[in-house]
Amino acid sequence: MAPVLRLENVTKRYGGTVAVDGVSFTAEPGRLVGLLGPNGAGKTSTIRMVTAITTPDTGRVTLGGETVGPATQRRMGYLPEERGLYRKLRVGEQLVYLARLKGMTKTDAVAAVKRWLDRFDASAWWGRRTEELSKGMQQKVQFVATVVHEPDLVVLDEPFSGLDPINADVLEAVIGDLRAAGRTVVFASHRMESVEALCDDVVMMAKGRVVLAGPLREVKRRYGRDTVSVAWSGPDAWLDALVGPTGDGADSTANGSAEASAAASGVRVLRRSAGQATLRLDAGTPPRRVLDAALAGADDVDRFDVHEPPLDEIFRLAVGEA
C-alpha cells in the first residue's frame, strides 16, 4: 500500500504575498484527492511543495512520515499544468531519460517506457521526434513520463486541460487504474465538474487557505438536497416569473447568471441554457414550487431532478462561510 501524503499547517510566502497560508490536508492511498480552487488560490504553490520543488516557510509536508525531499521525489510523479518536453528529443530517449532521473536503471527504464507506450497504443512513436507529434500525442507522452517509474504518489495539475474527449477517456481510465492499484493521486483543477465525476476526497482552496475539505459524498451531503435541475420544451417565461424581476431572461450562457438572482421567491438560478436550468432553493422552499411553475408555464417538462448542489456552488458557499 502506498504511503499517506500529509500537509501540516504549511505556509509559503513569495515576497510580501502569502501564497499558501496554514494549509493542512491528507491524501490517502487508493483515493483520488481533488485540490480545487480558482486560479490564484494557491494550488500550484501547494503542489510545488508537495513535489519538493520548493520548501515550505513553515509547516511540514510528509509522504509516509518522511519529510518530502530528494528521496521522496523518486516516489512521485508530477504532471505540471504547463506541459513541456524536450522538443528535439525522440520520444523513447526522452522518456528513458526522465525515468532515469527518477532513479531507474537504464534497462528498467527502457522496459517500463515500452510497456507504457504499448498501453497508450503509442509504441510506434519510440523513434519519433517529440516536436513531430500532435498536441494530444505529446500529452500522452507527458503522462507516460509522469507514471513510468511507478510512483506511489501521482500529482496531476489540470490533467484534462487541452485533452480531446477520446484522450480524456483514456486518461480517466488510467487514473482509475492508479487508484485501484492503491496509489495516492492528487488532482488539482479549477474546473469543478471534472473533479466531481472522479474524486473521492476534495480539498477546496481560496486565497491560500483551505476553505473546505473531506470526502466528496460527505461534503455534498453536508450542503443538503436543495438543488433542482429541470429540462423543458416551450417558452421559458415561467422561469423568469418564478425567479422574480432580477432574473435575466436573455442570459443563455451556461453559468453566466449564477450570481444573478437573489430571489425574493426563494429560488436562484445556478446554470441556465435553452430549455434547461439548475436552480438552488433557499431554506424552506419546496422543490415542487419549481415543478408546478414549469408544468404551468412550459409546453412540457422533460426532466425534473432534486439533488445536492454542484461543487462550484458548494465552493461559493464555503468561501462565503470562511
Partner 1 sequence: MSPTALIAQSEYVRRVRSPWFIATTLLTPALAVAVFAIPFLTVSLGGGDAPQTVAILDGTGALADSVAAALPASYTAHETGAELGALREAVLAGQLGGYLVLAPGVLDGTAQARYFSRGSGLEEMAVLGEAVREAVRDERVRRAGASPAVVALLDARVGLEQVSVSEDGDAADGALVQLLVANVLAFLIYIAVLLYGAMVMRGVIEEKSNRIVEVIASSVRPFELLMGKVLGIGAVGLTQLVGWGVLMAAGAAALGPLLLALAPAAAIPAAGAAAGAAAGAADLPIDPAALSAAFAPGLLAAFVAYFCGGYLLFAAVFAAIGSAVDQESDAQTLQVPVMLPIVVPMLFLPAVLSQPDTPLSVFLSLFPVSSPVLMVVRMSVTDVPAWQVAASLALLAGAFVGMIWVAARVYRVGILMTGKKATFADLWRWVRTA
Q: Does residue 173 touch partner 1 according to CB under 8 A?
A: no
What SS3 state is found at 11? Answer: strand
Taking only Cα atoms into account, the Rg of the chain, rounded to an integer number of angstroms, comes to 23
Strand order in the sheet with 184-189: 76-79, 153-157, 184-189, 32-36, 201-206, 209-215
Q: Does residue 225 touch partner 1 according to CB under 8 A?
A: no
Determine contact, residues 254/260, Cβ cutoff 8 Å.
Answer: no
User: With respect to partner 1, which residue has the nearer C-beta, 78 or 238?
Assistant: 78
Q: Does residue 229 touch partner 1 according to CB under 8 A?
A: no
Q: Does residue 71 touch partner 1 according to CB under 8 A?
A: no
Contacts of 91-96 spanning 24+ positions with Cβ under 8 A: 91/117, 91/122, 91/125, 91/126, 91/127, 91/128, 91/129, 91/130, 91/133, 91/141, 92/117, 92/125, 92/126, 92/127, 94/130, 94/141, 94/145, 95/141, 95/144, 95/145, 95/148
Q: Does residue 60 touch partner 1 according to CB under 8 A?
A: no
Pick from 20, 29, 31, 73 the residue near partner 1 by CB under 8 A: 73
User: With respect to partner 1, which residue has the nearer C-beta, 85 or 294?
Assistant: 85
CA distance 315 to 51: 26
Q: Does residue 52 touch partner 1 according to CB under 8 A?
A: yes
Joined grid coordinates for residue 318: 464555503
User: With respect to partner 1, which residue has the nearer C-beta, 49 or 318?
Assistant: 49
User: With respect to partner 1, which residue has the nearer C-beta, 23 or 52?
Assistant: 52
Distances (CA, A) of 238 to 112, 249, 295, 301: 60, 10, 9, 12
Element (H, E) at 21: strand 17-27
Least distance from partner 1 to the Cβ atom of residue 134, Å: 17
Q: Does residue 86 touch partner 1 according to CB under 8 A?
A: yes
Contact set for partner 1, span 252-291 (CB under 8 A) = none
Q: Does residue 133 touch partner 1 according to CB under 8 A?
A: no
Binding segment for partner 1 (CB under 8 A), chosen from 22-30, 94-102, 190-198, 308-316, is 94-102
Q: Does residue 89 touch partner 1 according to CB under 8 A?
A: yes
Pick from 5, 27, 76, 147 the residue near partner 1 by CB under 8 A: 76
User: With respect to partner 1, which residue has the nearer C-beta, 91 or 211?
Assistant: 91
Angle between the 91-101 and 135-147 helix axes, to the nearest 10 degrees?
30
Nearest to 304 by CA among 282, 284, 275, 265: 275
CA distance 70 to 101: 11
Least distance from partner 1 to the Cβ atom of residue 124, Å: 23
Least distance from partner 1 to the Cβ atom of residue 97, Å: 5
User: With respect to partner 1, which residue has the nearer C-beta, 93 or 196?
Assistant: 93
Q: Does residue 126 touch partner 1 according to CB under 8 A?
A: no
- Enter the DSSP assignment of 255: S
User: With respect to partner 1, which residue has the nearer C-beta, 93 or 248?
Assistant: 93
Pick from 100, 114, 129, 209 the residue near partner 1 by CB under 8 A: 100
Q: Residues interacting with partner 1, by CB under 8 A?
A: 15, 48, 51-54, 70, 73-74, 76, 78, 80, 82-89, 97-98, 100-102, 142, 145
